[in-house]
A and B are shown apart, each in its own frame.
Chain A
Amino acid sequence: MIKRSEMAGHRRMPDWVVTGCSVALLIVAWVVATEGGFVDDLFMPSPSSLWAGFTDLVEDGYKSRTIWEHAGLSLERVLAGFVTGAVAGTVVGLAMGYNRVIEACLAPFVEFLRPLPQLAYLVLLIVWFGIGETAQIVLLFLTAFPVSAIAAMDGVKSVSRQRMQVARSLGASNWQIFRFVVFPSALPEIFTGARLAIGVVYATLIAAEIIAGSTGLGWVILDAGRFLRSDYVFVGILAIGLMGLVLDYMLVAIEHRIVHWAGKY
């Protein structure tokens, strides 16, 4: 994005080489620490025991379900919670950014909800929504919603006032200003918000799967952690982390298609 650095780049290695080297360095450190006997298997599994744990999980599954079922269920929950939460949050956030009456009415709740630890109100969700998928998705929805709402609101608020004045003086209606000035300008922040939202939804996955668990990657990690099975815990963390990365890259790709003007105006 920053041209000067790219220009200076004729002497430097391509990015993927740097990333590769960094990954290789991490792996070497890990192998040396664990296989070299510096770190107990309980603290951090060695590559071989991690691999054994992985093949074990793939072949036999974990507690009456295959690992793919666990992963699939988690993915479904994350997507359901994220999509509903981000869409609703963005709509509400845009309205809050644009209209101060709406903002005044809703801001206390959005602000209250956002930093509220999910674990604190977990039981209330069970009371209200039962122990099925609904409660889990509602929890993830409630996590994504305020993040998206606040990002959208901030996006609207950071729209250049000059531009809005220009549009208004050119005779644009409120709706037109919103549609052609505010919304496009707020889009980059909305996308940043969406990425943050999927991050927090993902981070809340385990909390959601605490509700009457026995399925999902989050629950697998939690259950394996109870018996200090660090091999399964690490396999689970890697799987969850990689899934998160893939989702994030997908969002970035969508962002680049839609907000192609970011940083260019």
Chain B
Amino acid sequence: MQRESGKTDAPERRRSVVWSVLAQPRWLSALSVLGALAAWWAITAFAVVPAVLLPTPGEVVSATIDILRNGYRETTLWQNVGSTLWRCGAGFFLAVLTGVPLGLAMGYWPPIRAATNYIVQFMRPLPPLSYVILLIIWIGTDDRSKIVLLYLTAFPIVASSAMAGVRAVSQQRVQAARALGASEWQVFRYVILPSAMPLSFTGARIALAAAFSTVVAAELNAATDGLGWMVISASRFLRNDVIILGIILLGVLGVALSAIVLAVDRRVVHWRGIE
């Protein structure tokens, strides 16, 4: 249940020191990641798949060093990471800034829900790749069309989770607050909003992940930098070492981003699970 391993249970204390260290979540995680890396190494070392298709860990490391030193096709690695983060962050924050208020309003006021929900629900499952070409026609090839693509990916998720959050609020509480004489605004501010926060944050995490996973689609077209661009352009020349490096970087960045949102979530929604 709890992530914190501060409190050790009685039986655990009796086990060997080694085991108790290894049993800590972070060591277990590290071990399982190491296991995966070892599996990768073994797959390439024993040539389970052809070398053309899966590079060895060593090749990826040397590609990394090369790119850190000389850059990839006149872009530095930091520039690529930075551009990807900027596009993703801009799209995501715009989505949160507009999606959360709309979602809360949709959850609280049925007329707003009736007027807008079908649009949000229609947009939500639309594959971003289906309208990439339209965005280029409408907005052009610069960063704006990429940010809009990521925004459109994140927005419906943020809005529907915020709405679901409001709608999942315990009615007893709302009624209790009203019985105690709370105004409409007070009910919203002190009952609905705090109760809707956990789901809104879950939604934000998922939206960030969705936006991030669309970053390659966004950088597929008319990009000059970014990690997605790096992977795509490397794949045109079948540079598998660069592709794998890109995948690892994208994955690690994605984990870091969701860890940040989770940390914010913990701070802001500290009442999650202890209501």
* Contact of A159 with B174 in the complex, beta carbons under 8 Å: no
Return A85 CB to nearest CB of chain B, in Å: 14
Q: Which residue of A111, A120, A143, A195 has the most chain B CB atoms within 10 A of its CB atom? A: A120
Determine whether B97 belongs to the interface, using a CB cutoff of 8 Å to chain A.
Answer: no
List, in ascending order, chain A residues with CB within 8 A of B3's CB. Answer: 100, 103
Per-residue CB contact flags for chain B residues 183-209 toward chain A (1 = under 8 Å, else 0) read: 010010000000000110011011011
How far is B5's CA from A207's CA once the two chains are assembled, in angstroms?
A: 40
Number of A-B contacts (CB under 8 A): 265
* Contact of A13 with B111 in the complex, beta carbons under 8 Å: yes
* Contact of B134 with A230 in the complex, beta carbons under 8 Å: yes
How far is B210's CA from A146's CA once the two chains are assembled, in angstroms?
A: 11
Q: How many residues of B contact A (CB 8 A)?
A: 99
List, in ascending order, chain A residues with CB within 8 A of B205's CB. Answer: 150
Return A227 CB to nearest CB of chain B, in Å: 10
Determine whether B169 belongs to the interface, using a CB cutoff of 8 Å to chain A.
Answer: yes
Q: Which of A22, A218, A221, A242 contacts B116 (CB 8 A)?
A: A22
* Contact of B170 with A9 in the complex, beta carbons under 8 Å: no
Per-residue CB contact flags for chain B residues 105-126 toward chain A (1 = under 8 Å, else 0) read: 0001111011111110111111
* Contact of A5 with B199 in the complex, beta carbons under 8 Å: no
List, in ascending order, chain B residues with CB within 8 A of A67's CB. Answer: none
Q: Which of A4, A115, A118 contacts B208 (CB 8 A)?
A: A115
Per-residue CB contact flags for chain B residues 240-269 toward chain A (1 = under 8 Å, else 0) read: 000100110011111101110000000000
Complex: chain B residue closest to A117, CB-CB: B216
Q: Which of A100, A218, A240 contacts B5 (CB 8 A)?
A: A100
* Contact of B217 with A100 in the complex, beta carbons under 8 Å: no
How far is B231's CA from A9's CA once the two chains are assembled, in angstroms?
A: 54
Which residues of A117-157 have CB atoms within 8 Å of chain B's CB atoms? 117-121, 123-124, 127-128, 143, 146-147, 150-151, 154, 156-157
Chain B positions near chain A (C-beta within 8 angstroms): 1-3, 5, 23-29, 31-33, 36, 49, 53-54, 108-111, 113-119, 121-134, 137-138, 153, 156-157, 160-161, 164, 166-172, 174-175, 178, 184, 187, 198-199, 202-203, 205-206, 208-210, 212-217, 220, 228, 231-232, 235, 243, 246-247, 250-255, 257-259, 272-275
14 additional A-B pairs beyond A112-B254, A116-B213, A154-B202, beta carbons within 8 Å, are A6-B110, A108-B29, A114-B209, A117-B250, A150-B206, A157-B272, A157-B273, A160-B275, A161-B274, A199-B157, A203-B210, A233-B130, A233-B133, A244-B126
12 contacts between A and B (CB under 8 A): A5-B109, A19-B114, A100-B25, A111-B259, A116-B247, A117-B214, A127-B49, A158-B272, A203-B126, A230-B137, A241-B123, A241-B125
